[in-house]
Amino acid sequence: MRRGLEYREDPGELQFGPRHTVLINLLDFKKDKKLRPQPGSNLWNSDHVKMPNSTRNTFNKQGMFGSGEKLRWDLIKKKLSKLSNVTKSETIEEVIKSYNVNYKNEWKFDALHKYFETEEPKRELFRVVKAMAELALKLPDICPKAIPLLKQGTSHSLTLSQEQISCLLANAFFCTFPHRNSTHPRAEYSNYPDINFNRLFGESSERKQQKLKTIFQYFRSVTEEPPQGLVTFERRSLAGRCDWKHCDSKISKLHITSKGTIEKDGKGMLQVDFACAMVGGGVLGSGLIQEEIRFLTHTELIVSRLFTEKLGDWDALCITGPQCYSKYSGYSDTYSWDGPHTDTTERDRWMRRCTKIVAIDAIKFKNEQQQFEMRNVDRELNKAYCGFKPRVQAQCYLPVATGNWGCGAFNGDIKLKALIQIMAASKASRDIVYFTFGNEELVQEIWNVHNFLQKQHFTVGKLYSVLEMYCERKRSRSAGDLYDFIYSFYADLKSKH
């Protein structure tokens, strides 16, 4: 199989349209590749991000001459300016609580305080905080144009500069985004991930200390040397049902290995993020598995939580251009920040890093038997295909770099999930590079069944019909191993002819 970068897809010319919002000035970009903000004004409505600097973002202030509405941004500016001489983490807590008074007694900052107690050198750390505050306050100049919400059931792309992302994330760190703190199920943004960083600051643990190290490395990097590039967030939604039973696509090529990881060894490929429906999962809480780790090391991914509504059954989120800022080792409780990373990944015509990630969320099964109901098989096929489907027609496409999607804590059957991804990739005309994360036995099993399917000229539709029969047997508890069933089905079919 060719190296991933040789498959690089041409994005065409950067331009805005009804389904693509661009937050930089295109005339300047086309003229001299300068990344200047697109002029505009923010909008305070249900289709756009409600910005901290909006004139509609107000609060009632009681004074000796009565009460009146005040701009919250004026208060934020006043308080963040205090961080120009910050010497202790308690000042950060005081500043954040000063414009989030409803949560003054609810939010905890023990994790943040412990980080500042143990991290050295202190002077350098507070220099970064000061620079972050200055960056956050540039919001009206860096992000003047309204940012659309990427809603369920819609297909829309948003392209913004890495500088704009850093400004938005600095505001998220200081918890300035309005209407984004309530956890009530009927709250305005209850169907969106949290974006303000308050949950990261409390309930200290070793996980959170390592997370804070990773995130501060990002802010250290972008405040010292602002990256000059773009990132695109593309929400995809399937327009209609796929007819899997009559799909005549041939089974794509497969490379499978027990060594390596998706992010390191899938370089230049379409890399699968084993996502939660709320993209980023527990990245701002205690979660620390595949998705959270990716969002930490490629910190710009976190901004997707600002504008991406919970993924529906037919939705996926594709991100092109995020940069890696940190090295790491371990997983979950053993995760450790291992220092800064210099990302040398080349850029495409849009000045985006040639890193492409697709977030697809699998069903979390309470009862493992449920995944063998065809409605659930269909859902997972459609979900994977939504993520893998090419945006434009081309002669060849990036291979999919994936692994045991929807398994582990989600209780997915590894063998079934592997076939589902192979089928979806085949329909999308993409080859697959599959990482089993050290499982040598699984390498052989998946390789054998894939080799068998190709040799017997299975189409996606034919394999789907076999899955239907297997799932019917599963309902009566009379089915054994999935791959053994496929082999025996073909042997029985051949003997009848």
- Catalytic positions, please? 273, 291-292
Length of the chain: 497
Instruction: Give the DSSP letter string of 33-52.
Output: ---PBPP-----STTB---T
Instruction: Give the DSSP letter string of 124-153.
Output: HHHHHHHHHHHHHTTHHHH--SPPBPB-TT
Sign of CA dihedral 454, 455, 457, 463: negative
Do 239 and 417 form a contact (C-beta atoms < 8 A)?
A: no
Distance CA 430, CA 4 (A): 12
Classify residue 143 by burial, with Cβ atoms within 10 Å: 0-12, 13-18, 19+: buried
Please state whether the peptide bond connecting residue 121 to the residue before it is cis, i.e. omega within 30 degrees of 0.
Answer: yes
Identity of the amino acid at 283: V
Query: What crossing angle do the helices spanning 206-224 and 122-136 adopt, rounded to 10°?
Result: 70
Do 334 and 298 form a contact (C-beta atoms < 8 A)?
A: no
Tell me the sheet residues that pair with 329: 336
Instruction: Give the DSSP letter string of 63-90.
Output: ETTEEEEEEHHHHHHHHHGGGGG--SHH
Query: What residues have CB less than 8 Å from 91, skipping those under 6 apart?
Result: 82, 83
